Amino acid sequence: MQVSRMEAKKQTCLFSFGLIADIQYADADNRPNFRQNCVRYYRNSLELLKEAVRHWSGDSCASKPSFVMQLGDIIDGFNKRGGKKQSFQALNVVINEFDKAGCDTHHILGNHEFYNFTRAEIASSRLLSGINFETTEVDTTCSCISELIPTTAEVPPAAYYHFSPCPGFRCVVLDTYDVSTLGHDESCSIHQDSMNLLRSVNKNECLNSPDGLQGIDRRFVEYNGGMGESQLRWLEGVLQKASNDQEKVIIFGHAPFHPTIEVDCCLWNYKDILQLLHSFSCVVAVFSGHVHFFSHFVDEKGIHVVTMPGIIEIAPGSNGFGTVEVYQDKLVLHGNGEVKSCVMSFP
Ligand SMILES: [Zn+2]
Ligand SMILES: [Zn+2]
């Protein structure tokens, strides 16, 4: 009797969440991507988001998500050609759709956010979703943010934060671009140090090109970035506390940090993050976007690593969102379109 009751308890879905990545919406005609190896469906991406939102808010969804994770690149850098007005317009259009999901949306910062907006603009937009959650950190690492914000009395919160959607579980949202040329003013030391790092490895005139770079060095391109020392120390503290409290941790970020997935899209200082995650046993899964394809594998320490497809590159007729049910002993990913359903058991 005791055992069966325990089994039954194990099988209760504790909470669930929606996953979607790289919507990159723009009110623009279809065109090839940067590498010229696939088409970007700029307007269709909004239709696919609408379908995802209808799914999450409708009766067909077995377990209504408590939140949706928008994994970054919410609108395309293409918008900036129409000026700030177009960027903000596109952002509003997409966020309005998320508002219909009937639950919170967490927005993660990707490279395309910084093609459109400065960090100061992001800080006063709805993209800084951490402001509503347990964020206690302020962004003190960068001079250009506080200088650009008119009311300097309040330093904006950092874009990384954590929250606990249910006892025993903690979700951590990372900022995989806090060290980057992107999002920082040219006068900012973070921009300058990032540029020096890139130029020391990447000899191409266009720093978005990995041409000539070998193996793991191919990650040193301008559309990638890294995580700074203060974010790493913050993450260490969060993981330490979660371990002490026997919580399981689910990590979300735009750029992946497992180079085996796609080295051209890997975080610059991926080793620091992997070392940190692997020094604790509380991390059960990592979800990212940026690579624009679905993948799932279990890394050498038993962490489930998932990348989501880029909605922008999915042709009309298919889709690429997911819904994750969280159980005491596993995550169950229900895939739609290019996302494969799978069961991710904890070690
Ligand atoms: Zn993208
Ligand atoms: Zn990206």
Q: Does 7 fall in a domain?
A: no
pLDDT-derived band at 132 (thresholds 50, 70, 90) equals: confident
CA of 71 to the centre of ligand 2 (A): 9
Lowest average pLDDT, out of 156-160, 255-259, 279-283, goes to: 156-160
CA of 6 to the centre of ligand 2 (A): 42
pLDDT of residue 153: 44
CA of 182 to the centre of ligand 1 (A): 14
CA of 260 to the centre of ligand 2 (A): 17
Q: Does 8 fall in a domain?
A: no
Q: Does 9 fall in a domain?
A: no
Query: How many domains, the chain?
Result: 1
CA of 168 to the centre of ligand 1 (A): 32
Q: Does 203 fall in a domain?
A: yes
Q: Does 332 fall in a domain?
A: yes
pLDDT-derived band at 136 (thresholds 50, 70, 90) equals: low
Q: CA angle, corner 258, sides to 182 and 119, nearest 5?
A: 20
pLDDT-derived band at 152 (thresholds 50, 70, 90) equals: very low
pLDDT of residue 151: 46
pLDDT of residue 141: 64
Q: What is the pTM of this model?
A: 0.94
- What is the mean predicted confidence (pLDDT) over 190-207? 96
CA of 311 to the centre of ligand 2 (A): 12
Mean pLDDT for the chain overall = 91
pLDDT of residue 246: 97
Q: Sort strands 169-173 and 161-166 into parallel, antiparallel or unpaired.
A: antiparallel
Percent of the chain, pLDDT > 70?
90
Q: Which residues have a Cβ under 8 Å from the Cβ of 203 and sit 6 or more positions away? A: 212
Q: Does 6 fall in a domain?
A: no
* CA-based nearest residue to 264, from 211, 227, 195: 211
Percent of the chain, pLDDT > 90?
79
Q: Does 63 fall in a domain?
A: yes
Are the C-beta atoms of residues 179 and 227 closer than 8 Å to each other? yes
Q: What is the CA radius of gyration of the chain?
A: 19
pLDDT, tens digit, for every residue of 65-93?
A: 999 999 999 999 999 999 999 999 999 99
Residue 119, domain CATH: 3.60.21.10
CA of 248 to the centre of ligand 2 (A): 27
Separation of alpha carbons 100 and 3, rounded Å: 41
Q: Which residues have a Cβ under 8 Å from the Cβ of 322 and sit 6 or more positions away? A: 18, 19, 20, 308, 333, 334, 335, 336, 339
Other CB atoms within 10 Å distance of the CB of residue 305: 20
Q: Does 27 fall in a domain?
A: yes
Ligand nearest to the CA of 254: 2
CA of 8 to the centre of ligand 2 (A): 41
CA of 79 to the centre of ligand 2 (A): 15
Ligand nearest to the CA of 266: 2
**Residue 164 half-sphere exposure, CB side, CA atoms within 13 Å?**
12
pLDDT-derived band at 16 (thresholds 50, 70, 90) equals: very high
Separation of alpha carbons 307 and 288, rounded Å: 5
- Residue bearing the bigger pLDDT, 122 or 140: 122
Are the C-beta atoms of residues 127 and 106 closer than 8 Å to each other? no
pLDDT-derived band at 157 (thresholds 50, 70, 90) equals: confident
CA of 20 to the centre of ligand 1 (A): 11
Enclosing domain of residue 253: 14-345
Highest mean pLDDT among 125-129, 136-140, 177-181, 251-255 belongs to: 251-255
Ligand nearest to the CA of 33: 1
Tell me whether residue 136 is exposed, middle or buried, using C-beta atoms within 10 angstroms of its C-beta: 0 to 12, 13 to 18, 19 or more.
exposed
pLDDT-derived band at 280 (thresholds 50, 70, 90) equals: very high
CA of 71 to the centre of ligand 1 (A): 9
CA of 320 to the centre of ligand 1 (A): 13
CA of 196 to the centre of ligand 1 (A): 24
Lowest average pLDDT, out of 56-70, 109-123, 234-248, 320-334, goes to: 56-70
